[in-house]
């Protein structure tokens, strides 16, 4: 995103809208292009009364184009024909049944709230996961950025790109969970942004969630969070 210095009247109204804090005062107001994730908040809110904020063509050119794709909820990933920072698969498991009994969907969400992330940080965890023989889910938008799907290495041209957030998604068999937690969780301390870890599971027949106890034994604090996706249609699973 950019600000037209000829049009801007320096009212400073847009500054507080930027989640990345990258609109700055100088001789004229300007947006730090390296830090801007192209989320579009400053533009879409209509805060600028003189229409000085605009999206230049060069911000939509490869590889910078992925900033908008991962950061602006209205943008599409052309390689997946989907929207957003990750797939909906994990969050809609009650409808899709993508993750069945005996396995978990595991999510690593980078950059939220308000820090953003570069793909150098995503790569650190993607490579460690692949090193365990676990694949990044193909439906996940990050999959399309991989140079090598076996190693989790991301294409060089994307590494420095900064986005609002990214969700890395994997499928973990029940018996793999302790190894994944023990290997991956300590690595998060070396990731230069905030990371939330999510685990998608199905209730047992008796309504229990034994994975909570398993995770607590592994030293993880568990905060159960249920989501009811009303209106998504008839479940594909029984």
Binding-site ranges for ligand SF4 (CB under 6 A)? 1, 3, 8-14, 17-18, 20, 22-23, 29, 31, 36-42, 47-48, 50, 52-53
**Cβ 5 to ligand SF4, closest distance in Å?**
9
Rounded distance between C-alpha atoms, residue 237 and residue 130, angstroms: 29
Phi, psi angles (nearest 5°) of residue 54: -150, 160
Question: Which of 106, 164 has the CB closer to ligand SF4?
Answer: 164
**Cβ 85 to ligand SF4, closest distance in Å?**
14
Question: Which of 51, 204 has the CB closer to ligand SF4?
Answer: 51
- Sequence-distant (6+) residues with CB within 8 A of 181 are 215, 218, 220
**Cβ 223 to ligand SF4, closest distance in Å?**
29
**Cβ 149 to ligand SF4, closest distance in Å?**
30
**Cβ 3 to ligand SF4, closest distance in Å?**
5
Across the beta sheet with 195-200, the strand order is 166-173, 103-110, 195-200
Instruction: Calculate the dihedral angle through the C-alpha atoms of 40, 41, 42, 44, rounding to the nearest 10 degrees.
Output: 80
Question: Which of 71, 87 has the CB closer to ligand SF4?
Answer: 71
Q: How many CB atoms lie within 10 A of CB 150?
A: 10
Rounded distance between C-alpha atoms, residue 212 and residue 220, angstroms: 9
Cβ pair 48, 5 in contact under 8 A: no
**Cβ 77 to ligand SF4, closest distance in Å?**
18
Tell me the residue length of the chain.
Answer: 238
* Strand ranges inside 101-194, DSSP E: 103-110, 117-118, 146-148, 153-154, 162-163, 166-173
b/e burial code for range 96-106 (CB count within 10 A of at least 16 → b): bebbeeebbbb
**Cβ 159 to ligand SF4, closest distance in Å?**
19
């Amino acid at each position: 995103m950019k600000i037209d210095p000829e049009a801007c009247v320096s009212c400073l109204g847009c500054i507080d809208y930027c989640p990345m804090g990258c609109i700055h005062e100088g001789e004229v107001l300007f947006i730090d292009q390296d830090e801007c994730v192209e989320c579009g908040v400053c533009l879409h809110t209509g805060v600028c009364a003189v229409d000085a904020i605009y999206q230049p063509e060069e911000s939509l050119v490869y590889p910078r184009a992925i900033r908008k794709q991962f950061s602006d909820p209205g943008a599409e990933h052309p390689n997946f024909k989907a929207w957003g920072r990750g797939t909906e698969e994990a969050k809609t498991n009650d409808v899709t049944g993508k993750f069945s009994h005996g396995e978990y969907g595991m999510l690593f969400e980078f950059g939220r709230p308000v820090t953003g992330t570069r793909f150098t940080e995503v790569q650190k965890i993607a490579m460690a996961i692949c090193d365990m023989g676990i694949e990044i889910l193909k439906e996940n938008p990050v999959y399309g950025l991989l140079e090598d799907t076996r190693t989790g290495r991301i294409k060089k041209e994307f590494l420095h790109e900064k986005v609002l957030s990214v969700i890395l998604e994997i499928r973990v068999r029940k018996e793999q969970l302790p190894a994944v937690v023990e290997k991956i969780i300590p690595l998060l301390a070396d990731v230069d942004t905030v990371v939330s870890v999510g685990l998608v599971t199905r209730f047992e027949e008796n309504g229990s969630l034994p994975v909570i106890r398993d995770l607590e034994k592994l030293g993880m604090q568990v905060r159960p969070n249920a989501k009811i996706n009303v209106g998504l249609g008839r479940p594909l699973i029984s």
